[in-house]
């Protein structure tokens, strides 16, 4: 280069490029105010009074600070210490500060307690909505929140235990100290059912319990055996199944004995899970661990089933929340990124994909919140048979369907972000790894489908109730009517019912979602849901919505920056 052109030589430290065409981060938004489907569901199902608190919670869960807690709680996995530095057995799990902050936020907001401490119309719905907002930030800490919430009906079966434990379980506070329950003001509860030889079939449990003195409900027993999957092992106590001479029974097993010694619940190791990383799940051995019998001897499953029912409800809420967050992220990205001359949000094929993903959320939320209302109504009026029976079928069907739809939904939403979606810097990768968990936890898919059949066999009225609920929208859409009638036909012949159980539960869920969406009253959403999911479409991917739908409305509901 001659001297004349010297000034054109590139500076080696020159700026290589400008960063542009990137979506803004989805943070510092109000996750409640911007969620039209959620706000409508809250009002529709009797929890309108909770809106100020939900809006305040949504403002918090949308902050960059709290979103960051979710990342940190997963980046810094829980660490297990079997012994302390001097060799004493401690069975201690250390969590990152961010996990504790999330726990404190959830417990101080009453996600574990509100419908029990202040039962009123809409209480379960309001609490579910709060949980839905919180779960969008981080799913792992939802496990102990859910278990603590869900343990209340089971522990209530034994009034003497309830009197001692419930005031502290229902306290809206978090005390993570590893000290005996009687030294604390706030407690969390876990559960131990699954053993190596069987999780679905808990009757195969081999853990044994021997009475310390007198036998029966409320009496102390010592448990010897193991549990293969006990999540949140730093909980203050666990509801555990163990065999007595009279069969499988349920026990409340504390971390510490009343004399201040450590109860011998020994953690063998933590599970190395692909998802749900912030939440420690452990393998434990019970070496004479003390526990009090909850419910009747030999009736352990009916005792713990109360807890299981609530955890299944929370699986519906948690998975629906994962879907909502995935769509919010996908739409946020598509709105802020252009390709081939238009923002992705304006590209017809991307609109089809995003609207279809939003319809999934609409359906999930519709059935989940209807079950929330059923919980409210059946708790407030135990004689309300319709709501009770609706719940009996709705929990397995809804849990099955929503959780099972989530992995593919998360994957499609991830793909909307292109390559960024698969990096751990975005929440999409975590949502994807989280997506299969709820489907397996608390009764895997087949188990839910079989539970639906069990309910039908034991209480045939559940089916009449289901169709009575569907009947509320009869005549409003010929395709829905046709799908409901075809479903009724399935029950005329119960041969091979087990073999067909998934098909039946799919259709129970889909028709209920469609019916709920019709009742909800947004014609664009209901029409698109029915047109895409109840037609003759057959197997389908997301993004295959038929022509002629009002995508504008659906996408506005999906957009976390647009509230209508
Ligand atoms: C993240 C996570 C946390 C967990 N935390 C806890 C916890 O805190 N406490 C706890 O007790 N457990 C916990 N579990 C365990 C979980 O509840 C069990 O894994 C689950 O119930 C399935 O039991 P399993 O693993 O023994 O599988 P199996 O019972 O062996 O089932 C394997 C498969 O067979 C299917 N199946 C079973 N029976 C039938 C049948 N009759 N017909 C057709 N198919 C059938 C199931 O649907 C499943 O797909 C946790 C699991 C996960 C993933």
Concatenating the DSSP letter of every residue in 227-245 gives EEEEE-TTSSEEEEEEEET
Which atom of ligand 1 sits closest to the CA of residue 273? Answer: 1
Q: Whose CA is nearest to atom 43 of ligand 1?
A: 446
- Report which DSSP code applies to 549: -
What are 333's two structure tokens? Answer: 């990205």
Which of 276, 304, 312, 441 has the most ligand 1 atoms within 8 A of CB, as the residue to mutate?
441
170 CA → ligand 1 middle, Å? 28
CB of 304 closer than 6 angstroms to any ligand 1 atom: no
Q: Ligand 1: distance of its center to the CA of 245 in Å?
A: 25
Q: For residue 440, what are the contacts with CB-CB under 8 A and spacing of at least 6? A: none
Q: Is 441 in the pocket of ligand 1 (CB under 6 A)?
A: yes
Whether ligand 1 lies within 6 angstroms of the CB of 153 is answered as no
Specify the pLDDT at position 3.
57
Confidence (pLDDT) at 6: 64
Point out the residues of the chain with pLDDT beneath 50. 1
Q: Which two tokens stand for residue 408?
A: 């593919």
Ligand 1 atom at minimum distance from 279 CA: 1
Dist CA 438 CA 445 (whole Å): 10
Per residue in 514-542, pLDDT tens? 999 999 999 999 999 999 999 776 668 99
Answer whether 444 contacts ligand 1 (Cβ < 6 A): yes
Mutate to test the pocket of ligand 1, among 78, 198, 229, 308 (most ligand atoms within 8 A of CB): 229
Report whether residue 524 contacts ligand 1, using a CB cutoff of 6 Å: no
Distance 442 CA to ligand 1 centre (A): 7
**Pair 359, 442: CB distance under 8 Å:** no
Taking only the tens place, the pLDDT of each residue in 169-196 is: 999 999 999 999 999 999 999 999 999 9
Expressed in angstroms and rounded, the spacing between residue 203 Cα and the centre of ligand 1 is 13
199 C-beta closer than 6 A to ligand 1? yes
Which residue lies with its CA nearest to atom 25 of ligand 1? Answer: 199
Which tokens sit at 152?
């209340």
Q: Are 54 and 43 in contact (CB under 8 A)?
A: no
Does ligand 1 have an atom closer than 6 angstroms to the CB of 281?
A: yes
pLDDT at 14 (0 to 100): 80
Distance 410 CA to ligand 1 centre (A): 22
Q: Whose CA is nearest to atom 2 of ligand 1?
A: 441
- In the chain the first and final C-alpha atoms are separated, in Å, by 62
Angle at 392 between CA 387 and CA 395, to 5 degrees: 105
């Amino acid at each position: 280069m001659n001297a004349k052109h010297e000034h054109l030589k590139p500076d080696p430290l020159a700026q290589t490029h400008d960063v542009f065409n990137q979506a803004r981060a989805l943070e510092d938004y109000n996750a409640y105010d911007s969620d039209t489907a959620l706000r409508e569901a809250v009002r529709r199902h009797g929890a309108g009074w909770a809106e100020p608190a939900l809006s305040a919670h949504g403002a918090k869960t949308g902050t960059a600070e709290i979103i960051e807690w979710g990342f940190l709680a997963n980046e810094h996995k829980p660490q297990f210490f079997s012994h302390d530095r001097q060799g004493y057995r401690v069975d201690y799990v250390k969590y990152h500060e961010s996990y504790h902050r999330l726990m404190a936020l959830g417990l101080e907001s009453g996600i574990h307690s509100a419908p029990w401490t202040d039962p009123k119309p809409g209480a379960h719905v309001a609490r579910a909505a709060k949980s839905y907002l919180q779960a969008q930030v981080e799913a792992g800490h939802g496990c102990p929140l859910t278990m603590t919430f869900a343990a209340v009906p089971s522990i209530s079966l034994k009034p003497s235990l309830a009197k001692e434990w419930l005031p502290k379980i229902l306290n809206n506070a978090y005390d993570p100290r590893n000290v005996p329950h009687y030294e604390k003001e706030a407690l969390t509860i876990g559960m131990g059912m699954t053993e190596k030889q069987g999780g679905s079939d808990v009757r195969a449990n081999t853990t044994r319990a021997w009475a310390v003195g007198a036998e029966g409900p409320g009496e102390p027993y010592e448990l010897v055996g193991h549990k293969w999957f006990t999540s949140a092992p730093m909980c203050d106590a666990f509801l555990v199944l163990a065999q007595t001479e009279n069969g499988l029974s349920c026990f409340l097993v504390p971390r510490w004995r009343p004399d201040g010694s450590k109860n011998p619940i020994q953690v063998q190791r933590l599970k190395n899970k692909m998802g749900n990383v912030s939440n420690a799940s452990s393998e434990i051995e019970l070496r004479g661990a003390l526990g009090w019998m909850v419910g009747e001897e030999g009736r352990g499953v009916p005792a713990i089933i109360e807890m299981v029912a609530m955890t299944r409800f929370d699986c519906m809420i948690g998975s629906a929340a994962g879907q909502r967050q995935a769509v919010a992220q996908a739409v946020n990205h598509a709105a802020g990124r252009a390709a081939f001359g238009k923002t992705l949000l304006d590209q017809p094929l991307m609109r089809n994909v995003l609207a279809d993903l939003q319809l999934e959320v609409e359906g999930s939320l519709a059935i989940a919140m209807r079950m929330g209302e059923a919980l409210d109504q059946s708790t407030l009026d135990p004689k309300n048979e319709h709501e009770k029976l609706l719940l009996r079928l709705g929990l397995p069907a809804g849990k099955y369907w929503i959780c099972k739809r989530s992995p593919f939904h998360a994957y499609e939403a991830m793909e909307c972000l292109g390559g960024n979606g698969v990096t751990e810097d975005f929440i999409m990768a975590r949502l994807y790894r989280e997506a299969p968990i709820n489907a397996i936890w608390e009764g895997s898919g087949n188990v839910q489908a079989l539970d639906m059949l069990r309910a039908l066999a034991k209480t045939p009225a559940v089916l009449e109730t289901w169709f009575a609920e569907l009947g509320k929208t009869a005549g409003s859409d010929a395709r829905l009517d046709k799908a409901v009638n075809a479903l009724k036909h399935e029950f005329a012949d119960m041969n091979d019912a087990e073999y067909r159980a998934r098909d039946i539960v799919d259709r129970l869920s889909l028709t209920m979602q469609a019916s709920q969406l019709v009742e909800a009253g947004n014609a664009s959403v209901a029409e698109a849901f029915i047109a895409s999911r109840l037609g003759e479409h057959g197997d389908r991917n997301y993004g295959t919505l038929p022509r002629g739908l009002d995508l504008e409305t659906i996408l506005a509901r999906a957009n976390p920056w647009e509230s209508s």
